[in-house]
Chains A and B, each alone.
Chain A
């Protein structure tokens, strides 16, 4: 079925009626089947209601407190609500952390997946790498954060953060948070890329070998370009995970109200410095945290939710857009769901 563009089926010639498959009448089914059928409907609708409820609740709460000034002003230390500013710095912080995490995890994840899928020798090493990636995927993010703190407090890694007056390494910075976020996103990217590589049929690899291309050339020029949508959706899933994470942020970014750079070098200074993200801002301003402005917390949570929803829509668009040339969406969404929901 190669190469047929997807068009709607041609209309029937004159004189013929087109029969379309109709929904089965469930009244003729055995009772157990009917119960199962309606149970599926009920749970599906319930899930829709729950998701809709969350979005609606946050929308209602958030939109009432969200003002444009909140998005544009940095937070300021003050107990008065009118003077405590907005959450511009946390938004920037979220962006920095996500970008850093994805820039590190992307190439590393694709490389690991390509090695596992195409080479994978010696076998024990491949199995070990596979288990390691799955283990990382299962580790709670707070454990990863504590591990990160331990690592980045080491003396020789002082250049990634800052030093206190007595010479000890602070260990908390955007670098530290970004690297651990990369570790967090890695299993998602590896999983999505491996699924994509498994879906490329073997005859495509054979065609490349038969042309006299090396395995490396085949991977670089045929396989990876062919699975770009899979890699993209893996990256976006990773981004979603990074944006939503709170534990790593609260432990590893040295939560300060504004993004404080260290030293005078422009970009590196910010990365070595401390700051906050939307998630830590929501936590701190909620009734559970120190700040007492739940309205701003709702507003920030609303912004966070919108960002995540936009990312999900982006994933759907990427995967659906690629299916003009390739397999059906059902397979793709199934494989995506398998990755996303096992995390």
Chain B
């Protein structure tokens, strides 16, 4: 093997049950994960062929005069995790944000090409409905300054739009909130008092709360923009485990500049450079047998 290639990192064991919550004792569990032997676990084969959720076709994105994404075509499938890797400025975050039309919030953003969700072009869908089906978690944990319960309840599609703070805690809303917190692996830690302010949680807990919030509306696709870059290694490991557990029920797209994280977590990897999609393939292909020199250089750490 090429001595420039990084050694294979042990992959987190892939969970088959999507609703298993990570253990309460995060420290010990993460430590065992991080300190395990170097034997890589073979990825479990798919029981069913992966269902395609979104398709990106020949998409060009520009901010004002500058082209940020050039002619990218990708598929996002449920049951697998797609990692977008690349150096800063490669357009991976912009591409991610275009998937739920968040680029429109910036004035001067232009787009050409097609992005479809379940066959429908997303620009013809109602934007708020689209964003409920394609949820996003950001780099910096950004819980609202409300209680934990209200944070997740706010995201529920069926919660009544009137009434502001006094949201009625119907049993339906309560169970939906508890379910979302379970799926995000946060329920056990906060169940004793859900009316605590969300701002008092630790960074890792806040990020899991943001994931719970994103999951509350039962999205079809979950977009993650470098979710662990602001977190310590233990929180990172917990969240990576959680993401892998989620991939059965939602299609996951994660942008990361941490190559080891991409190796640990991703099934398919898309390497972007200066706006272009340089190479796309499975995780083994990109990290062990890259086809292009530029991919080999980036994965080997020659630049980035």
Contact A211 B154 (CB under 8 A): yes
Q: Is B141 in the interface zone, CB < 8 Å from A?
A: yes
Q: Is B268 in the interface zone, CB < 8 Å from A?
A: no
Contact B145 A225 (CB under 8 A): yes
Contact B105 A212 (CB under 8 A): no
Contact A212 B146 (CB under 8 A): no
Binds B, one of A58-66, A177-185, A200-208: A200-208
Q: Is A209 in the interface zone, CB < 8 Å from B?
A: yes
| 16 residue pairs bridging A and B, Cβ less than 8 Å apart | A3-B141, A4-B202, A5-B200, A207-B210, A209-B105, A209-B131, A210-B135, A211-B154, A211-B214, A212-B128, A212-B130, A217-B161, A225-B164, A226-B144, A325-B197, A325-B199
Residue of B nearest to A322 (CB): B145
Q: Is A221 in the interface zone, CB < 8 Å from B?
A: yes
Among A3, A204, A222, contact of B206 (Cβ-Cβ < 8 Å): A3
Known contacts A3-B199, A5-B200, A221-B154; decide if A211 and B217 are in contact (CB<8 Å): yes
Residue of A nearest to B165 (CB): A225
Contact B145 A210 (CB under 8 A): no
Name the interface size band of chain A.
20 to 34
Q: Is A213 in the interface zone, CB < 8 Å from B?
A: yes
B136 contacts across to A, CB distance below 8 A = 210
Residues of B176-234 contacting chain A, CB below 8 A:
197-203, 205-206, 210, 213-214, 217
Q: Is A338 in the interface zone, CB < 8 Å from B?
A: no
Bound Cα distance from A3 to B197, whole angstroms: 9
Residues of B70-121 contacting chain A, CB below 8 A:
100, 102, 105
B197 contacts across to A, CB distance below 8 A = 325
Bound Cα distance from A69 to B206, whole angstroms: 58
Render A221-242 as a binary contact track against B, CB cut-off 8 A, 1 for contact: 1100110000000000000000
Return A195 CB to nearest CB of chain B, in Å. 16
- The list of the 6 closest CB pairs from A to B, nearest first, reads A212-B131, A212-B132, A210-B136, A212-B128, A207-B142, A203-B142
Residue of A nearest to B198 (CB): A3
Q: Is B261 in the interface zone, CB < 8 Å from A?
A: no
Known contacts A203-B138, A207-B142, A209-B105; decide if A2 and B154 are in contact (CB<8 Å): no
Residue of A nearest to B146 (CB): A225
